[in-house]
Structure 1
């Protein structure tokens, strides 16, 4: 395992769940991150799907102690460049393309690319990625499917993301080839709109305590 992959592994081991966040308003970023970290989820994926995302990442990195901030929905070299400029601890992609992987070779930001089939998993493994995102998890066969990959591909560990809830997360976490799961259930839109940080902290604490 490369040094960058080892560093990424250490990050992903911090908690059983990585919150995957889409934030439209930078004013919400810091209190949301504080609520999640206070609940025991320090590793945060801020998706680059909104215009506010870069400013959200800057604000959280500057103001939220103990937050480990990564970028999500990184699709190309530009996304990786933005992630590196922002000082992201990692970058997550919903897939993998040759151009993206080429760009990742020269990036200081560790990349977590996604796969959803044995062939895609093998391709990324050949490129040196023993850590991969499994996406979209539930729509691609769920925990049973992912567990079936463990025997032929024991070298790979996954962060399954997509359609995962608090109720089904343990079915993934019990798998030998799962290092953590990604989800957004601890920060639902209704609570975010209401700025109910206490409720988000409570959901985060429950997520942080999840076990197989």
Structure 2
């Protein structure tokens, strides 16, 4: 698979790795309000590389412990992409990766043992304000059943064509409370389209961009930049 890293500045081929305490790709960062995930490289693969940058690789699940491990490329014909999603938050803001279109997704309060903040009353019962599911009253608490949907942009775990391998977190400020954003290591199938929305001070940058993998090229930009309208078929009605 080809490997890329995506930041607010664009798409970069390859991704760097570090060797301490063992060869790995850092996803996120260490510190208060932060989370670092070390995605491991096979030691033999790391030793074979001439630099600390990887441009192609494969992922295996080891038989011994079931560890996800990056190894030398096994199938050069694999048209999927391995991508480090690292688009930064705006100043004192955030960043969120989702699918490109709103759809029915699971209510965020599914399984909540005491759904107080979102309930409303009707016909003697209490319901979730988000999805309308009737809550179950037990032991003086209002339990939200694991059912009900809302219309929203789906999280990465629910986007077809996306396999999330690792997730970390970067943050702003000493305590990590000024803002922050997730980082992911994902595998994308050809044809996959993602959306990222940045909040906070963006200093003129567009708040929403899209990422598209067609099996050969990884494109990142506004929707019109990824899918230029100038290349639409010249068929239609006269105006």
Bigger Rg, structure 1 or 2: 2
TM-score (norm 1): 0.25
Determine which structure has the larger helix proportion and give its number.
1
Determine which structure has the larger strand proportion and give its number.
2
